[in-house]
Structure 1
């Protein structure tokens, strides 16, 4: 089932590089998605359409989105994806956006806070010739103090380093670009590349590395932008611990743990 909620506040004409759409998958995020929506409304570049894909929430997440749409400074679309898993939600959102004219796509998650220049940086990267833009992730300030945020930066650095050294990620076997740290909650991709590479795998998390490697086999045009910043929740890290979180992101599965740490 798909419903549409759309409000526009003096929307400017699409830029020559084509319409940009932002996709946000959401599941049971009633208590957090309001802050994400507010962060998107505070963007310096608000010439985009927002698509929130509700992945079967029962906590009133959709109602929060519908209320936000009545005062949003950009068009808002609310989709309902019955197939569980962030990959299915993201893929549905991206393909819906493409079918409705999107040429540039960006994604963050419903527990994340994109910085004010996030959309502008994503657009600049794609217009500048990149097929995929990977941004910088930081720990949310409302979840951690300075020491916790510093520890998170170390973990991200170690994960990125391991990814570059991992034999499976070396520039062989058809890869056209070296491995780069890619967080699904902070990415932008052209519609053309998304379709060419096969899109996001329609499965539960983790999906990011699979998608990145699909892109790496399709194009070398992958860049990282330090000014494309998202503060993301570390609740999986706090719920699972470092070792189990690492196992999760290495596709070892959740074991006895739930796929959703809430």
Structure 2
């Protein structure tokens, strides 16, 4: 596994590292990560440690994180992961958190906006005995109007339906739980389960479906919470258009387009 370089950042002395850690992978997110960090600071439950894993950004992403960390209402850790791919960045962040005492792990992305009750809902789901908690995803209201947000909802529904009907996802394939849509940018998992299932595939996106299937082969303790909501960036929809975005969510890849629509 690629070794990450840690940059511990300052945090208020009154707040200590607890059992819940939040991991945010980031690459070239100078324009968006500030809003993500602000959304985390606005959580109703701020008893967590934040780990931001920079995946080789050359813009001001790291500087934004460092400025935020100086006055953050929770501890912040900044890691550097040189191996390209969101899977590698997430895996590095999760394993770092586990090594430093995390019992519960939550993840969102650096272009997403967790709603204020997101951490509280993740904690409640894990405290109730779930191994993996999956939340609801919505389109960011600051990137698209009603038509764009409706298109995003349609894509999510299409991907979820395809996933349930896909023969490879049937429980006869060794799975312990039925397939349901899982977004990697809105999830929480126990450290024990993360290690037991083998963790996030260390590769570029998409990785969410592969990780979910690893979990499904390990446990049936998977729940979905409607009150665990993250607003997603719709920039892929703008860059690809509706048809090609649908192909992406159906695991058809990016085709002639770049896998990273920044």
> What TM-score range do you get, normalising by the shorter chain?
over 0.9
Q: Which runs of 4+ in 1 moved over 4 A?
A: none
Alignment pair present for 1:206 and 2:220: no
Aligned position for 1:237: 237
After superposition, where does 1:1-262 map in structure 2 within 5 Å? Answer: 1-8=5-12, 10-11=14-15, 14=18, 19-262=19-262
8 Å CA contact 1:52–1:93 kept in 2: the answer is: yes
TM-score (norm 1): 0.95
Cα deviation, 1:96-141, whole Å, max 9, x if unaligned, reads 0000000000000000000000000000000101000000000000
Q: Aligned-residue CA RMSD in angstroms? A: 1.2
Structure 1 residue 13, shift from structure 2 partner: 8.0
Q: Deviations over 1:11-37 (max 9, x none)?
A: 2684xxxx1000000000001000000
Distance 1:49 1:13, change over 3 A: closer
Deviations along 1:39-71, one digit per CA (max 9) or x if unpaired, are 000000000000000000000100100000001
3-state DSSP class of the match of 1:241? helix
1:151 Cα deviation after fit: 2.6
* Distance (whole Å) between structure 1 residues aligned to residue 258 and residue 170 of structure 2: 31
Indicate if the aligned counterparts of 1:9 and 1:73 stay in contact, CA closer than 8 A: no
Q: Identify unmatched segments of 5+ residues in structure 1.
A: none
Number of aligned residue pairs: give it.
258
1:158-191 CA distances to partner (integer Å, 9 max, x unpaired)? 2211211111111111100000100001000000
Moved more, 113-122 or 251-260: 251-260
Deviates more, 1:3-12 or 1:22-31: 3-12
* TM-score for both structures, normalised by structure 2: 0.95
